[in-house]
Amino acid sequence: MLSRIAESLFWIGRYVERADDTARILDVHTQRLVEDPWIDEQRACANLLALMGAPCEPAEADTERVLATLAFDRTSPSSITGALSAARENARGAREVLSAEIWESLNVTHNALPQQRTMARRYGPHSLFRFVRERSAMVFGLADATMSRDESWLFLILGRSLERVDMTSRMLSTRVLAGDAAPSWTLVLRSTGAYEPYLRTYRGAVNSSRAAEFLLLDRLFPRSVFAALEQAEGCLAELERANVREGHRIGVAGEAHRIVGRARTMLEFMQTDEILAGLPTRLDELQRTCSAASEAVTNRFFTEQAPQIWVPEGAV
Amino acid sequence: MADLFDGYSLGQQWDEMFSAPGQPRSPYTGLFSSLQPMSGEELAARADVLSQTYRDAGVTFAHAGEEQPFPLDIVPRVIGHEEWAVIERGVAQRVRALEAFLADVYGAGEVFADRVVPRSVVTTSAHFHRAAHGLVPPNGVRVHVSGIDLVRDEAGDFRVLEDNLRSPSGVSYVITNRAAMSSVLPELFGDHRVQPVAEYPGRLLAALKASAPTGVVDPTVVLLTPGVYNSAYFEHALLARQMGVELVEGRDLVCSGGQVSMRTTDGQQRVDVIYRRIDDEFLDPVHFRSDSVIGCAGVVNAARAGRVTIANAVGNGVADDKLLYTWVPDLIRYHLGEEPILKNADTYRLDEPDTVEWVLASLDQLVLKPVDGSGGKGIVIGPRADQRTLEELAVKVRASPRDWIAQKPIGLSTSPTLINGRIAPRHVDLRPFAVNDGTDVWVLPGGLTRVALPEGELVVNSSQGGGSKDTWVISPPRPSLEPVPEHDVTRIEFTTADLPAEPPAQDPGPPNDNALAQSQQQQQAGPLQGPAASRRVAGGRGSSQC
């Protein structure tokens, strides 16, 4: 398939997942501000902003600022609105590959954003978060139901998995790094949608090391870091299968595959205690793994020269 | 009772639906009786649903840099099958003549030697490209896709207003209009046999494949678009998707060693046919504008080397030039030896000083069109222009008469259109699309009806605030022998009388094997279900003990 289209699909996967995860994080964050009487709003907001890569002066941090930056900023692809618009822009350039239903779903989502903003301003942001979660579920659900499992699907899912690794590790970081302004583990679990699966798995009260273990290492829960890495690895292996057939016998065929595989094996074969002891470093590493992997994917599959400029003879 | 068509005024022009107030023409009788009982509110509500489906699906047209939904009017335009047969033959005839003319212009040039068309008309055209001279397409087709703009005059005859042989757009709206209308107003379709339009992408793909370089067994076709900011991007994406071909931009293509390839995740892949929707000037920086970054350098040389086909061919613009238009009837007689089936609009060339003087004196009664303009740009409609526009126009025309043609204004026919909850007459034109696959010119039944939404407006172009209508060509009644073969087939399939009383004795194998396999499967499935179920129960118990 065309490199340009592959790149669009990869980024659609990333942006939609990002919008979804950001909506989940913000939903939990705003609920916490309401429900927790002892919370230090300023610090919690400053922490969240720093973690999502949009740090600001601690004195200026408040919920208003958080929502403006992470939910409503139309220009930044790190905000919900921005990510959904970016996904739709990418889809517009890849319309002949996406199924018509996926395109329509992204387009409808994009068109409804102004109205959702107004509603969120008037009735609180919860409805927006719900809307975003539902729409991203719809996009991936339609992809699941209507896309062939060819390269286009692999790139979409690769993007989604890498973004998911990144976002889940960020959510873990909110808890690990923030000290006493940190959300409880229950909230972290809830924001990843992992609360109920966690309860069913461990049959009991939320315990910090178990919760971290669950979000990081669980093989079966699809939003855990491990599961997402494994999925990304699977996509990469499938994408590079041709190279393997052509006699590539040592190691893996691509740089991205190596990066992702190494992160996955680190989680898989390191002792759980050891991982948990150095959790902040591990999480930081994971986030860097994601950007390195994304870069490697770009270099391997999407590189595209700048348009050629033709200088006729004698024009110089 | 107030009815939908109350107050519908008929003017001097031909009306598509009514021959007299309350008297629908025969193709419209079914539509009229279905629409008449509806109230304006109901129709308006349906129209809202219609425009919502277009917004959701992103059926848009970029106008002045803004992506806008393309307005679709809810009242379809109907063309009877006899009328359509004339259009169909006329359009195909025109395309064949222009095809022959282009082959001559970029080849022997006999048409000039025989003094049918002055050579200067061609050589002074901005769309004549020496780079295309001697470039013979593999199956001889240069006009793979064309759109011939027609209008209906006061007498009800269709006349050709212009030919589009470069990259006519609008066919995607024909396809989406039909899909949207049939989902919003299904009951209207029930009473009519409307000829389908959905086969267009298939026909186009077949024609493109047929034009592939000789010796290519399974040609790779791509659609080259200028990109998402192009006004017709929606159409490019829709056609690429429905043909199942790659939609490429110039930067996706690379040309080396006379071969065009596209950059894919598996490296470079050969391209055989480029259906390009980029203007000649931007197609190849080697031959045309060297500052173009949306084209692909070297593609014209590759076409000349016979390694790739460019569709539509480079240099077609010379045959849809508005000045050349005035010669098309002569070209039909010269190349085909036939009389033109569709007439031109009455047009004057400004090549004689006397004509120029006469035109300048009667500017206020004529329509003046710039020869190189498209999309309704620069047209001056004399009877509606103010004094200043006319004075400015006179200066321009005097300065370079070659750049203008003059036409007698045609009172474009009107068609009932929903405006603010009421039905009102609005001017329409028709652009049928023709696909030439080298053996046959196929005309898409219907084509795009564009409607000028402002009252009295005559320019229907979508870049000038026009909308569109679904265009129905009614199928002729089938010949009466039609049901016999079909009926026979079903009778054989469902009648036990034709079966042999007993199965042939020597072939008992397959049914028995099959039955055996089935029973084995059932046996295997039985025991498997047991343990799996009990394991689940055990697992549940185990964890609750923890």
User: Could you report the per-residue pLDDT of A129-182, keeping only the tens digit for each?
Assistant: 999 999 999 999 999 998 888 889 999 999 999 999 999 988 888 777 666 566
User: Could you report the per-residue pLDDT of B16-31, keeping only the tens digit for each?
Assistant: 999 988 889 989 988 8
The reply to whether residue B264 touches residue A2, judged by beta carbons under 8 angstroms, is: yes
Among A147, A182, A212, the domain boundary falls at A147
Establish whether the linkage from the previous residue to B312 is cis, with ω within 30° of 0: yes
User: Could you report the per-residue pLDDT of B456-467, keeping only the tens digit for each?
Assistant: 777 766 556 678
Is residue A63 in a domain? Answer: yes
DSSP lists the bridge partners of residue B469 as: B73, B449
Most confident of A173-187, B68-82, B501-515: B68-82
Q: Could you count the other beta carbons within 10 Å of the beta carbon of residue B303?
A: 25
- Count how many domains chain A has: 2
Is residue A209 in a domain? Answer: yes
- B347-409: CATH number: 3.30.1490.270
For residue B135, the number of C-alpha atoms closer than 13 Å in the C-beta half-sphere is 25
Kindly state whether residues A199 and A61 are assigned to the same domain.
no
Q: Residue A215: which of A260, A149, A159, A168 has the closest Cα?
A: A168
CA distance A148 to A99: 10
- Our CA-based measurement puts residue B332 at a distance from the nearest CA of chain A, in whole angstroms, of 39
The reply to whether residue A304 touches residue B58, judged by beta carbons under 8 angstroms, is: no
pLDDT of residue B116: 92
Residue B435 identity (one-letter amino acid) = V
Task: Please report residues of A whose CB lies closer than 8 A to that of B251.
Answer: 4, 304-305, 307
- Look at residue B541 and tell me whether its pLDDT is greater than 50: no
Q: Determine the Cα angle at B309 with ends B303 and B310, to 5°.
A: 90
Kindly state whether residues A184 and A285 are assigned to the same domain.
yes
pLDDT band at residue B204 using 50, 70 and 90 as cut-offs = very high
Kindly state whether residues A117 and A235 are assigned to the same domain.
no
Nearest CA in chain A to B225: A93
Is residue A214 in a domain? Answer: yes
Structure token pair of residue B418: 């929903």
Kindly state whether residues A288 and A203 are assigned to the same domain.
yes
CA distance B229 to B236: 12
Q: Environment class of residue A189 by beta-carbon count within 10 Å: exposed (0-12), middle (13-18) or buried (19+)? A: buried
Span B227-247, average pLDDT:
88
Concatenated DSSP letters of B243-312: HT-EEE-GGGEEEETTEEEEEETTEEEE--EEEE-S-HHHH-TTTS-TT-SSS-TTHHHHHHTTS-EEES
Among A105, A126, A147, the domain boundary falls at A147
Residues A63/A47, Cβ–Cβ less than 8 Å: no
- Look at residue A52 and tell me whether its pLDDT is greater than 70: yes
A21's CB contacts (< 8 A; 6+ apart) are: A163, A164, A167, A168, A171, A192
Kindly state whether residues A197 and A70 are assigned to the same domain.
no
- Our CA-based measurement puts residue A80 at a distance from the nearest CA of chain B, in whole angstroms, of 20
pLDDT of residue B470: 93
Is residue A306 in a domain? Answer: no
pLDDT of residue B533: 40
Q: Which of A2, A104, A315 sits opposite B246 (nearest CB)?
A: A2
- For residues A115 and B4, the model is more confident at A115
pLDDT band at residue B441 using 50, 70 and 90 as cut-offs = very high
A222's CB contacts (< 8 A; 6+ apart) are: A228, A231
- Look at residue A197 and tell me whether its pLDDT is greater than 70: yes
SS3 per residue for A248-271: CCCCCCCHHHHHHHHHHHHHHHCC
- Our CA-based measurement puts residue B270 at a distance from the nearest CA of chain A, in whole angstroms, of 12
Kindly state whether residues A72 and A163 are assigned to the same domain.
no
Among residues 214-243 of chain B, which lie with CB inside 8 Å of chain A? 223, 227-228, 233, 237-238, 240-241
Residues B144/B208, Cβ–Cβ less than 8 Å: yes
Structure token pair of residue B224: 């080259």
The reply to whether residue A308 touches residue B285, judged by beta carbons under 8 angstroms, is: yes
Q: Over pLDDT 70: what percentage of chain B?
A: 84
Ranges for all domains in chain B classified under CATH 3.30.1490.270: 347-409
User: Could you report the per-residue pLDDT of A217-232, keeping only the tens digit for each?
Assistant: 999 999 999 999 999 9
Is residue A314 in a domain? Answer: no
Span B119-133, average pLDDT:
87
Kindly state whether residues A107 and A158 are assigned to the same domain.
no
What is the residue range of A174's domain? Answer: 148-299
Kindly state whether residues A207 and A237 are assigned to the same domain.
yes
